[in-house]
Amino acid sequence: MNDPNGPMYYKGVYHLFYQYNPQGPVWGGDIAWAHSISHNLIDWIHLDIALSPTDPQLDIRGCWSGSTTHLPNHNLAILYTGRDSKEHQFQHLATPKDLNDPFLREWTKSPLNPLMTPINGINPLEFRDPSTAWRGLDGVWRVVVGAQVDGKWKALLYTSKDFEHWTKSDKTAFYLFDNDLVVECIDFFPVGINGSDGDNHYLNEDQYEKKFAMKVSFQANKRDCYVLGQYSPEIDEFRAESEFMDKGCDLRLDYGKFYASKSFYDSEKRRRVVWGWVMESDHDVDAHIRGWSGLQSFPRTIVLSESGRQLIQWPIKEIEALRGDNVNFQNKELHGDSVLEIPGVTASQADVEVSFEFEVAELEEAEPMDPSWVDPQLLCNEKNASVKGTFGPFGLKVLALDDLSEQTSIFFRIFKTNIDTEKYKVLMCSDQSRSSLKNGVDKHIYGTFLDLDPCQEKITLRTLIDHSIVESFGGEGRSCITARVYPKLAVNKASHLYAFNYGTKSVKISELNAWSMRNAQFESSIGEENH
């Protein structure tokens, strides 16, 4: 499985579609839309495939990514990319066969397909992944599609009055990208100011103060990046506040293994929820041995930060229902070069929340920030979890052996800068360099700077651990790093959980909570041969 597609809430049921190869455990030409449903976003029932490749002129080479849209009168629509026998890409429509079925088990492809074709300079090999559609005050629907036009990557806007007949906007582009990286899986949505998720209104009415986020997936480096800005619905113009991957403004949903994400608005709980595809870090040979590859991240809520500078993500509240035994302690001093085991939890399947604080006066002794350290990932590689500093590294060691020969470290460092507007810089890293004793496994070190002033607030970390995946949320969700790891020995009861501080200065754990996590429940109506 790979990209999540068309997540939505309909008649009391959550739906997640996703890219799926029914013929094997790696990506292939028969990619279909698999379909799972849930009542709580935690426990899932796998249904039969919703969309399969069927037509040589439309989608025989795969039903690729797309989105769902709620239409008037409780109708629904899927817009997806199909690839024909010539490898050309088109946008297609599918609708539910029976709207009275809350599980939406069967979908019918429109006889009008394809609805959008690669014309007027659009590269037919690079035209894909329609966003969720929205409707303006004029009653006209809008949707954004990624495309390469005359060698340039653009987000193109298409419009329709009836959701069946679509026309490319006469605008050159809804958004023109400033790099030549392949663009995929565009997501465009509103987020409310003042730390709110707002609502799902795309119209800038006075009572709805908001910004808009455009998220894209860049294929070459497998990054999910976004920009924030203002959208004027009267003229269909999106004005971004920055460029994608600006130096010092590299906004990503996740700085680790997290790609091709898709969000939806949950009207039941008035929140926006996002998923991402978590890729494997080993090889196709391993996938064939296992019989499967690829998984989805934990669902996350998205809100706009109170500063308005970035998106904040946090695991959905429902995950807490899986919490079991709890370990709690407060005001624990971590002296320099110390490791503290956290006992009493199933370390291979846990939820950990910890907050760190410091003597503010001592922060003046933090290591100076070199102006050349502009790339946090390179900095995390240079100053990994084994390199001792002044304030840091400190954080958690998870999926660890008792001798620490296997471990995944999520940690922070504090640097002092010479910038008047930013006295300190906080680095967050996820170090997989010692995550496995296996050979041939990607052991990347990921990193990002955390938009946080350690003089004004504590540094917090929440980490969800599930045997071979580690999702970490720093600064109450300001930055997220997902790691895909394959411990060889630090599994099940042999796995340990530690807090640590390798800095010369002491760090205090203000509070730590760790919970053993129960298993989510899964059922299936798909034959075992399809798993």
Write the DSSP string, 380-401.
Answer: HHHT-TTS--SS--EEEEEEE-
Contact present, 223 and 480 (Cβ < 8 Å): no
Amino acid in position 118: P
CA dist 158 to 70, 134, 203, 327, Å? 17, 11, 17, 53
Among 71, 76, 57, CA closest to 17: 76
What residues form DSSP beta bridges with 231? Answer: 238
In angstroms, the first-to-last Cα distance of the chain is: 10
The set of residues, in sequence order, having a beta carbon less than 8 Å from that of 296 and lying 6+ positions away, is 1, 4, 16, 18, 275, 276, 277, 278
Q: How far apart are CA 187 and CA 154, in angstroms?
A: 13
Residue positions annotated with a catalytic role = 3
Domain ranges of the chain: 4-315, 324-517
User: What is the predicted pLDDT for the residue at 248?
Assistant: 56
The per-residue pLDDT string of the chain (531 residues; one tens digit each, 9 = 90 and over) reads 999 999 999 999 999 999 999 999 999 878 999 999 999 999 999 999 999 999 999 999 999 999 999 999 999 999 999 999 999 999 999 999 999 999 999 999 999 999 999 998 999 999 999 999 999 989 999 999 999 999 999 999 999 999 999 999 998 899 999 888 999 999 999 998 777 776 788 876 544 578 999 999 999 999 999 999 999 999 999 999 999 877 556 899 999 999 999 999 999 999 999 999 999 999 999 999 999 999 999 999 999 998 899 999 999 999 999 999 999 999 999 999 999 999 999 999 999 999 999 999 999 999 999 989 999 999 999 999 999 999 999 999 999 999 999 999 999 999 999 777 679 999 999 999 999 999 999 999 999 999 999 999 999 999 999 999 999 999 999 999 999 999 999 999 999 999 999 999 999 999 999 999 999 999 987 544 433
Q: Under DSSP, is residue 81 helix (H, G, I), strand (E, B) or coil?
A: strand
Angle at 62 between CA 56 and CA 66, to 5 degrees: 120
Give the number of residues written for the chain.
Answer: 531
* Whole-angstrom distance, CA of residue 397 vs CA of residue 407: 6
Fold designation for 324-517:
Jelly Rolls (2.60.120)
What per-residue confidence (pLDDT) applies to 178? 85
Token representation of residue 19: 């890219």
Contact (CB, 8 A) for 357 and 458? yes
Q: How far apart are CA 406 and CA 456, in angstroms?
A: 35
Judge residue 529's burial from the number of C-beta atoms within 10 Å of its C-beta, 0-12 exposed, 13-18 middle, 19 or more buried: exposed
Cα dihedral value 68, 69, 71, 76, nearest 10? 10
User: Whose CA is closest to 513, among 334, 288, 329, 387?
Assistant: 329
Cα separation, 1 vs 279, whole angstroms: 9
Residue 387's Cβ-side half-sphere holds a number of Cα atoms within 13 Å equal to 12
Q: How is 209-238 classified by DSSP, letter by letter?
A: -EEEEEEEEETTTTEEEEEEEEEETTTTEE
CB 59 within 8 A of CB 83: yes
Q: Which two tokens stand for residue 216?
A: 């894209």
Given a contact cutoff of 8 angstroms between Cβ atoms, the answer to whether 445 and 465 are in contact is: no
Angle at 259 between CA 253 and CA 262, to 5 degrees: 75
Return the CATH number of 4-315, one of 3.30.1490.190, 3.30.300.90, 1.20.1740.10, 2.115.10.20: 2.115.10.20
Q: What per-residue confidence (pLDDT) applies to 531? A: 36
Task: Count CB-CB contacts under 10 A for residue 205.
Answer: 10
- For 79, the token pair is 């817009």
